[in-house]
Structure 1
Amino acid sequence: MEPRPQPVRISSAPGRLEATVPQLESVRDAVGDIPALLALAQNIGQNAPRPGEGDTAHLWELLASVTAVDVAAGRVLEPHLDAIAILAQARPGAGTRATAGSWSEGPGPAPDAADGAWGVFAAEGAGLRLNATPDGAGRYVLSGSKPWCSLAAQLDGAVLTARLGAGNAGNPGTGARAAFAVNLHDPGVSCETPPWSSRGLREIPSGTVHFEDVRAVPVGGPGWYFGRPGFAWGGMGVAACWLGGAVAVARDFSFALEKAAEGGREPDQIALAHLGETDRIIASLTGYFARTAERIDRGQLSGSGAWSEALRVRGTTAAAVERIQTMVAQNLGPGPLAFNEPYGKRMADLSLYIRQHHAMRDDAQLGALTRIGDRSW
């Protein structure tokens, strides 16, 4: 019988986390089934907290706990919850709701992601450009291509960024980027499904999506998407998923040591030292997430320092994940990677997922901000 999923605690009371176990059991039963995971993401999204609204730590616990069950499941859930938050941030106090399949004629309110499965596509690539042109009725028409659009063919809607003004791949122009909500079932949308050679995140290939005169609803104004505090908060939500993956790998390590001890092989000093370091890293990380969530909910990370803190959280978490993976792999050796499917999948999925962190380039960005005084020391 498969072990009962365990939530990842950041700061919530144990009883509250216990109430999430049935959802985590559903995630466990749906591993590898993307339509089922998308349905679960929609279900979780109906009641999940939004960042900055007083319960950010529990939002991150949900993301971490789902990812601890299966990294790919966390990779499905996170962008859906992020889209919900982005659309809510764009229309504070709005009571009118629209969905990807029911956008009316005319500009109307920004849609939300209450129904359907949503993604967030903000990456750009060399030689690719997505242009947004006003249609004269308060909406925009999208034309061009967008890279790194995970699961686009299976989603209903997406929040994406596009360039305003004239330009193309050969003549990019200087158009500012703005966010738009788009119906991915529009006939002008076509999704590439590229070969996916990686062992990691095989259920979630990311391809290029092409848009041909696709109507879209503006979400905020030019520059709003990247300038809002929620951009930094969403980046920390991704790091919460990485935290969940690290916790799962640490649990694999602890379980393996227990099984070996039951068979008469007690852990040596090196294994114990690595287990102790793993515990220390995770305790430090969860404490950091708890403090950061509290600062967000108190309104202390809504200004210019929000992105600096996001870079710190993401960099610290990515380094912790890599350190834990290295220690566990060195201790457990090649056997589990070769013959233990859940462990091998988790290690491969997590290794690819944390490459969303840009390593020293992100540290360089943080260093530039630190240099101009955006620091606490």
Structure 2
Amino acid sequence: MTEDAVRRPVVPEAQPRPVGAEDFDARALRAETATRFTAAVAAIDAGDMDFPLPGSGATAERFAALRAVAEDDLCLARLVEGHVDALAILGELGGPAPEPGRRWGVWAAEPPGEGLSAVRGADGRWSVSGLKQYCSGAHSCTHALVTARAEDGRRLFAVPLEAGTYEPVEGSWQALGMAGSDTPDVRFHAADAEPVGDVEGYVNRPGFQHGGIGVAACWLGGASAVARALRAAAHRGGGPHTDAHLGAVDIDLRAAGLLLEAAAAGIDADPLDTKGEARLRSLRVRGFVEAVCDRTLGHVGRATGAGPLCHDRRHARAVADLTVYIRQHHAERNLAELGALVSGREEE
């Protein structure tokens, strides 16, 4: 029988239907996260939420605070982490002093494609134009630090997000996981831009590596959130297999927590990276935490089955959010870089 003779079912096209209380509503999630983000920044400005600067002697407290926000809500953590990272970058590179009420994002992803270009006018003022991808908080941030290509190389700029000069591209963020993080593409149209630091200063500063570990702290908080369903199942007496999965998850989460604490101590001992260990530290921590998150997702899913994923909205969101968020890790590319560093080839 030929393939053409096989009768194939006709799949009807999906018909639009009203969004009800139990439906997935990305716009509502985005609005909810934006409201919480605005409140969090106000609390940071007022001193009610504290995220000590990396290398300040209290980096462990910074990582613990990021973990706590992420365990509550990974989408909120993504925006808060971007805001406090921006404050650290502005301080490290001598950017404009942060003002109360401003909500910052750090939009520095550079996948293949159009990207941003920066030009300096005859009056000496800079502007940026083009497309920037993965802009978390695109509708709720008031300012962003963005990377753009200038004539002399890649630079970082502080950009006010004003109507007419920046425009989130609707429909460009289709992820179910991290839907509330509001991470679409953004198109800039000759937006005013203030340079922050020198050419390549954003990636060459020690804080770039410190900030990457802050992201890993958020991942770990998300893994703890996913593990709640497993703890609850074990508490109800799920049996020896459930206990075994929980034991494996507990070991991983505690080991990752200790690694974060050790990394924080290393950053505080050498905040300017005079020993040249920051990149190695960041690769190790991010690689291990990503693996812990991946194993946690597997253990929890195998132990609890489909039930929590289908009937516990908070758990389902945590699983979906963490699955997307840890893909910021560059997988084998980062592991290969780590291996080359450990082998000593990078030093030759």
Letter in 2 for 1:68: E
Tell me: CA distance 1:139–1:366, structure 2 relative to 1, closer, same or farther (3 Å). farther
In 2: Cα distance, 1:197 partner to 1:222 partner: 33
1:338 corresponds to 2:337: no
Cα deviation digits, residues 275-323 of structure 1 (max 9, x gap): 1111111111111111110111111672432112111111100000010
Moved over 4 A (4+): none
Match of 2:267 in 1: 296
Q: Which runs of 5+ in 2 are unaligned?
A: 1-28
Q: What does 1:69-108 align with in structure 2 at a 5 Å threshold?
A: 69-91=72-94
1:347, distance to aligned residue in structure 2 (A): 0.5
Taking only the aligned residue pairs, the percentage that are identical comes to 36
C-alpha distance in structure 2 between counterparts of 1:365 and 1:114, whole Å: 39
Residue 370 of structure 1 is matched in structure 2 by: 342
Cα displacement string for residues 313-370 of structure 1 (whole angstroms, at most 9, x for unaligned residues):
1110000001011001101000110111111111011111111111111111212222
For 1:186 and 1:215, the matched residues in 2 are separated by 12
Whether the 8 Å CA contact 2:76–2:181 is kept in 1: the answer is no
1:193 aligns with 2:155: no
Shift of 1:141: 1.4
Q: Distance in 1 between matches of 2:325 and 2:267?
A: 25
Question: Distance between the aligned counterparts of 1:113 and 1:257, measured in 2?
Answer: 47
**What amino acid does structure 1 have at the position aligned with 2:98?**
D
2:153 is aligned, of 172, 176, 180, to 176
Residue 114 (structure 2) aligns with: 128
Q: How does 1:104-119 map to 2 (within 5 A)?
A: 110-112=96-98, 114-119=100-105
In structure 2, the residue matched to 1:100 is none
- The answer to whether 1:234 aligns with 2:211 is yes
Most deviating of 59-68 and 137-146 = 137-146
Structure 1 300/86 Cα, relative in aligned 2: closer, same or farther at 3 Å?
closer
CA deviations over 1:164-219 (Å, ceiling 9, x no partner):
11xxxxxxxxx521101000115321221225443211222322212222111111
Tell me if 1:267 matches 2:238.
Answer: yes
Q: Distance in 1 between matches of 2:318 and 2:34?
A: 20
CA separation in 1, counterparts of 2:299 and 2:41?
36
TM-score (norm 1): 0.78
- Deviates further, 210-219 or 314-323: 210-219
Paired residue secondary structure (1:273): helix
Cα 1:113–1:302 change in 2 (3 A) is farther
Structure 1: stretches of 5+ with no match in the other structure: 1-29, 92-108, 166-174, 261-265
Cα separation, 2, equivalents of 1:74 and 1:60? 12
Distance 2:198 2:188 in 1: 21
TM-score (norm 2): 0.85
Aligned to 1:347: 319
Distance 1:300 1:197, change over 3 A: closer
